[in-house]
A = this chain, B = another copy of it.
Amino acid sequence: MRISELSRRSGVPVATLKFYIREGVLPAGVATAPNQAEYGEEHVRRLRLARVLREVGRLSVDQIRAVVAAIDDERLPMHELFGVVTRALGPSADDPLPDDVAAATDDVDAFLRDLGWTVGAGAPARRSLAEALAALRRLGRDVGPEVFVPYAKAADAIARSEMDQGPPAGSRAEAVEWVVVGTVVFETALTALRRLAEEHHSAVRSTRGRDR
């Protein structure tokens, strides 16, 4: 199909399509004439994914580019994809590390060792967790990483249930897409459900008069 048809099918303006191609989010079409290219179903599919990453995951164009590069890299084993995707989503390792976050990182590393979790040393989620711990301390809470135990238990249960389901049958591209969608979309769902559960349990306690 022509770019105008791709725009109509996907609901994405032609100018945005050209921007995505320039930025490496969308592969170029097959040139059929000077200034004319042909696009296929894989383009429609890629645009659907980009929309979800942008609207639900609130990813930047740079992050979307990193994620689709991982999807397109056929040499990348499936099990390494989690690391690559979360690296694209997490804080950049290039940002300087404040002293209190560096101290919290040591605590977080020890905590993950105690849990027995096998996680890459450069995983940005390590840093996110250290930032959360440093934030609690900055606000005057004298806490160690054990404050995260209930969250680690919940995360462990979720990850197990996700792995038990496994990727859906289909091509590598479909399986990989599922990993990406799972990380981004179910993260949004989990965050939303925790907020709803808090509102619910807070209301329940209050009704029982234990919150006064």
Contacts and interface: CB of A to CB of B under 8 A. Distances in A.
B118 A204 contact: yes
A196 to B, nearest CB: 5
A51 B115 CA distance: 30
Interface stretch (A18-26, A31-39, A59-67, A153-161): A153-161
Contacts of A86: 195, 198-199
Interface residues of A, number: 74
Given A135-B52, A138-B52, A177-B139, A125 B205 contact: no
Nearest to A156: B197
A155 B197 contact: yes
A150 B182 CA distance: 13
A125 B185 contact: no
A83 interface: yes
A interface, by DSSP: helix, strand, loop or mixed?
helix
A139 B48 contact: yes
Interface string A124-163: 0110110111011011100000001011111111111111
Complex copy number for this chain: 2
Contact of A194 (B136, B190, B195, B202): B190
Contacts of A196: 112, 117, 119, 123, 125-126, 129, 155
B48 A82 contact: no
A193 B136 contact: no
A102 interface: no
A11 to B, nearest CB: 10
Contacts of A139: 48-49, 52, 177, 181
A55 B91 CA distance: 11
Contacts of A190: 151, 154-155, 190-191, 194
A198 B162 contact: yes
The 9 tightest CB contacts between A and B, nearest first, are: A79-B206, A159-B197, A155-B193, A128-B192, A154-B154, A125-B192, A117-B200, A125-B195, A155-B197
